[in-house]
Structure 1
Amino acid sequence: MGECKTIQRSLRSEIEHHLKERGYTLTRLSEITGINQGVLSDLLNRIPPRSMKIAHLDAFADAFGQSQGWLYELYESECFAEGKVSRSRVIPYLVRCAEIGRRDCIDSIVSKLLDDQKNISILFQVAEQLFTNGKRKESILFYQLVIDTEKNSYNERFVIAQYRLFRALQGTDSEKNWKAVIQFDPYRKRLPENYQLDALLQLANVCFSLHKWQEVERYADELRELATAVYQDELRARKMNRKIIPPKTERHLVVYYGQGFLLKSAALEKQGLYAEAKKYISGYADLSEFELLDETGRIEVEKFRLWATANRYTLDVLLGDIEVLPAYTRFLMDHPKEILSGLIAIMESANRHRFKVDGILEQFSSQIHDFTEYENSIQMDRYFRFRYELATYRLQNGQYVSGMEDILRCLVLATIMKNDSDFIRCVTLFEAFRPHATDQQKTEYKQIMEGIRNEEVDFASNRFSFGTV
């Protein structure tokens, strides 16, 4: 305990030094920090001193003009009292260390915490707090520590850590996203129902962005089955006048039920099974009879009704029914959020069935110009697919300069996403039409390839205005 007291004195002696240097009284320090003067006295003068919160130390740093993380390396002793860890101090401390990047402090205190298996719960709580506060990347280290340290793979904490880690690892890198799916997949059915509904929806969405259609089908089937079981349990409870405690999920139950049908239909569509895909649209087209609907649920039902209309148009177009194009384009104009998905289907069908859509491209030119924001991997994948189909259309119709420009854009997007199959498709298409490329385009193509060889991706993305038609 002697060493611990020395560190405590060092922490407080630093604060005392700055107090004297600036000529602050406790009254003045209280005014600056907002900390009660009596609390300040207990923190600095009482014997033994009152344990300091990390928020107190941050307030002192601000008062003395110091940077974030000031004296954090000396704060560790505040987290232990008589050899016991203080959860109320160590958890906020680790959260703050993660937020500001003090990995040295994290490593030091974690090594001590892991001397006792019971402290895994502390690491899990830190991870959960970071995750729920939107600090997902910062939570990864702590979830991984829980996974690496927890001996029981059926422990609920271990399984939830696996799920949270899967969510936290999602980004625009296709390879990393797929590895995260593979790592989490074996644990999905061990989750409590509320987490399992969310997990299946997320797994299906990630696999959708990766074009893993059979996996999308599998997760969609499981999602539909589980959502139906939960729904029926709630209905039985209502009929028996039992109190209903619905599972605490991120979305309304009707979302999981409807998405089970929607994702199944979408996966079948992507495999060219259009007739089968149409059958599943009826499963989510009208969910107004779904019981237990509140206002949020009714809003979701209307969304599904809208998507069903859009997806019926999509399937008709993909089947080559160009008679629906005027009605489809009017629908897209009335529902701007559906434009990107709709244009992908229209361009894909135009390439397959060889009909012209220049007028439609002109009609949506301003919207296409605004296709520049990617909030997630699914949106980036959709934009890639649109650009690739647009490039193919232009090249097939002799619009070589603009078509090759689109392929260069697609190459950059495929590189950012680290999607090897899409990258190969772009290279193949560029090489097939290389004689039609301008000297400038050939130079840019060479630069992109050299950047990839040197693992330099960012330089190329700055070259293009991705929204240009």
Structure 2
Amino acid sequence: MGQGKTVQRSLRSEVEHHLKERGYTLTKLGEITGINQGVLSDIFNRTPSRAMTIGHLDALAVAFNQAPGWLYDLYVTECIVEGKVSRSRVVPYLVRCAEIGRQDCIELIVPILLDNQKNLSILFSVAEKLFTNGKRQESIPFYQLVIESEKDSHCDRFVMSQYRLFRAVQGGADSEKKWKAVICFHPYRNRLPENYQLDALLQLANVCFTLHNWKEVERYADELKELATVIYNEEIQRWEIDGVRGILETECHLVVYYGQGFLLKGLALQLQERYEEAISYVQAYAELGWFEFRDDLAEMEIEKFRGWAKANNYTLNLLMGRTELLSEYVNHLANNPPEILAGMFTIMETANRFGLSVDDIVERFSKEIACFQDYKDPFSLTRHLHFRYHLAIYQLDKGRVAEGITETLRCLALASKMMEQEKFQSCVAMFWKYRHSASDQQIDEFQNILEGRNK
């Protein structure tokens, strides 16, 4: 068949075919889709025809009972006409392609965009829209394209892409990926605008906390304290000189970054058993009422820090041997249920360290302990893991071997899911020591965890 006989598919010819097939007038189509009749007339009857938006195409797909993404492969002609790229159409198009998984369409248009360095701003805009709309995983390939194609590693969109990529990876459970993301982003953290630097340092410290990399938590917590202090002092000076306060857009109130710097530093020191040092950091966030520019949100955050400081003071004093505070701490936990998970971790560690019997406390909070498995956030998972580990040691030391093995297996399963290698190896060694006392069912469970069949 000669080339002249080839029937060429186009966006409008396909839509017009469905219009004729259903016998719809433009008036009827406008009623069904909600698209203005004059706009429809300009799209199909005007010369040159009016460009169709991706919203129009989606509305037409619904009107014709077609699946989402209908005719997306033909929409490229609306985005690029005579070599000119329409930013207003290509950005929403790529966003929708990413949202519904039309990778084939993305691959059609991206190589064309990459022919011109100026179009990197389009790919960055797509990534930003996806990220801010909560589609973080979908945003990753677009940030990667910007990073790979941008020639200036100091330009704003390159640095921001590095930051967003770091944030997008944190949603998963793969600790290796999280650590690689930290390493990749680390060199660029200080190139961000100050408001993003605050968020970045807080996230870096939090990620390293969940990875149990206490030295890195210290590093980023120190940087966060320093930066928050500098910004606070600049705000005070601006207020004193000009009588105005600068507007710094951040995810949290400035007092949060200041307090979290001290909180995270203290926690990192505590988990390295540097208790005396940790106490000074707890004192730094125990009372933040001196902080200027307080609003209702700030007051609420300051109250949170006050509560955390009280709990962490108990923790550090108990771990340093002031066991006479135990009953007082238990009553504190009973009055503050959200702190029970962290508190039971402290109590079990204290019991093992000083040879205490805490059976009555474990029984008292048995209902809450049964719910620890429902926690999903990284900080709670870390505390749950440590609690199970210390409870296993406690039960074994008390001669309750069957219960100790059960807790060891719970800890082992949790360490496996969290990819926490150190605790995983410790639990394997602990189980192996008591393997001759394990039941057949416990041995089977141990084998299943080792082989990854417990997920």
After the TM superposition, which of the residue ranges 208-217 and 21-30 deviates more from structure 2? 21-30
* CA distance in 2: counterparts of 1:40 and 1:429, whole angstroms: 72
Matched position secondary structure for 2:265: helix
Aligned AA (1:438): S
Aligned AA (1:326): S
Q: Which has the higher contact order (CA 8 A, sep 6+)?
A: 1
**Where in structure 2 are the equivalents of 1:173-252 lying within 5 Å?**
173-252=174-253
Answer yes or no: is the 8 Å Cα contact 2:26–2:37 preserved in 1. Answer: yes
- Tell me the residue number matched to 1:456: none
Answer yes or no: is the 8 Å Cα contact 1:204–1:219 preserved in 2. Answer: yes
* Aligned CA-pair RMSD: 1.7
Answer yes or no: is the 8 Å Cα contact 1:173–1:416 preserved in 2. Answer: no
* CA distance in 1: counterparts of 2:26 and 2:84, whole angstroms: 30
* CA distance in 1: counterparts of 2:7 and 2:185, whole angstroms: 42
TM superposition shift of 1:155: 1.1
Q: Which runs of 5+ in 1 are unaligned?
A: 452-458, 462-469
* CA distance in 2: counterparts of 1:243 and 1:41, whole angstroms: 54
* CA distance in 2: counterparts of 1:445 and 1:21, whole angstroms: 63
* CA distance in 1: counterparts of 2:380 and 2:275, whole angstroms: 23
Output one character per residue of 1:36-76: Cα deviation in whole Å (capped at 9) or x when no partner: 11111222222222111111111111111111111111111
* CA distance in 2: counterparts of 1:17 and 1:388, whole angstroms: 67
After the TM superposition, which of the residue ranges 295-304 and 414-423 deviates more from structure 2? 414-423
Output one character per residue of 1:215-248: Cα deviation in whole Å (capped at 9) or x when no partner: 1111111110100000000000000025322321
TM superposition shift of 1:364: 1.1
Matched position secondary structure for 1:289: coil
Aligned residues: 450
* CA distance in 2: counterparts of 1:328 and 1:316, whole angstroms: 10
Matched position secondary structure for 1:372: helix
TM-score for both structures, normalised by structure 2: 0.95
* CA distance in 2: counterparts of 1:380 and 1:87, whole angstroms: 44
Aligned AA (1:81): V
**Where in structure 2 are the equivalents of 1:43-442 lying within 5 Å?**
43-170=43-170, 171-442=172-443
Aligned AA (2:13): S
Answer yes or no: is the 8 Å Cα contact 1:384–1:413 preserved in 2. Answer: yes
Aligned AA (1:403): G
* CA distance in 1: counterparts of 2:8 and 2:88, whole angstroms: 18
Rate the CA distance shift 1:373–1:68 in 2: closer, same or farther, 3 A. farther
TM superposition shift of 1:409: 2.4
TM-score for both structures, normalised by structure 1: 0.93
Aligned AA (1:53): T
Answer yes or no: is the 8 Å Cα contact 1:391–1:403 preserved in 2. Answer: yes
Answer yes or no: is the 8 Å Cα contact 1:188–1:199 preserved in 2. Answer: yes
Matched position secondary structure for 2:62: helix
Answer yes or no: is the 8 Å Cα contact 1:7–1:74 preserved in 2. Answer: no
- Tell me the residue number matched to 1:448: 449
TM superposition shift of 1:314: 0.7
Answer yes or no: is the 8 Å Cα contact 2:79–2:85 preserved in 1. Answer: yes
Answer yes or no: is the 8 Å Cα contact 1:172–1:376 preserved in 2. Answer: no
* CA distance in 2: counterparts of 1:128 and 1:384, whole angstroms: 35
Answer yes or no: is the 8 Å Cα contact 1:113–1:119 preserved in 2. Answer: yes
Q: Which runs of 5+ in 2 are unaligned?
A: none
Matched position secondary structure for 2:451: helix
After the TM superposition, which of the residue ranges 40-49 and 51-60 deviates more from structure 2? 40-49
* CA distance in 2: counterparts of 1:448 and 1:265, whole angstroms: 34
Rate the CA distance shift 1:16–1:402 in 2: closer, same or farther, 3 A. farther
Aligned AA (2:420): N
TM superposition shift of 1:263: 0.9
* CA distance in 2: counterparts of 1:158 and 1:138, whole angstroms: 18
After the TM superposition, which of the residue ranges 161-170 and 234-243 deviates more from structure 2? 234-243
Aligned AA (2:437): H
Output one character per residue of 1:11-30: Cα deviation in whole Å (capped at 9) or x when no partner: 11221222222222222221
Output one character per residue of 1:97-122: Cα deviation in whole Å (capped at 9) or x when no partner: 11111111112211110000011111
* CA distance in 1: counterparts of 2:183 and 2:191, whole angstroms: 15
* CA distance in 2: counterparts of 1:407 and 1:81, whole angstroms: 65
Matched position secondary structure for 1:329: helix
Matched position secondary structure for 1:14: helix
* CA distance in 2: counterparts of 1:333 and 1:215, whole angstroms: 34
Output one character per residue of 1:376-398: Cα deviation in whole Å (capped at 9) or x when no partner: 33332222222222222222222
Matched position secondary structure for 1:240: helix
TM superposition shift of 1:289: 0.7
* CA distance in 1: counterparts of 2:116 and 2:263, whole angstroms: 47
Matched position secondary structure for 1:398: coil
Rate the CA distance shift 1:8–1:232 in 2: closer, same or farther, 3 A. farther
- Tell me the residue number matched to 1:460: 454
* CA distance in 2: counterparts of 1:410 and 1:347, whole angstroms: 14
Matched position secondary structure for 2:242: coil
* CA distance in 2: counterparts of 1:8 and 1:385, whole angstroms: 65
* CA distance in 2: counterparts of 1:7 and 1:133, whole angstroms: 40
Aligned AA (2:112): K
Identity %: 60
Matched position secondary structure for 1:460: coil
- Tell me the residue number matched to 1:21: 21
Answer yes or no: is the 8 Å Cα contact 1:175–1:419 preserved in 2. Answer: no
* CA distance in 1: counterparts of 2:400 and 2:16, whole angstroms: 74
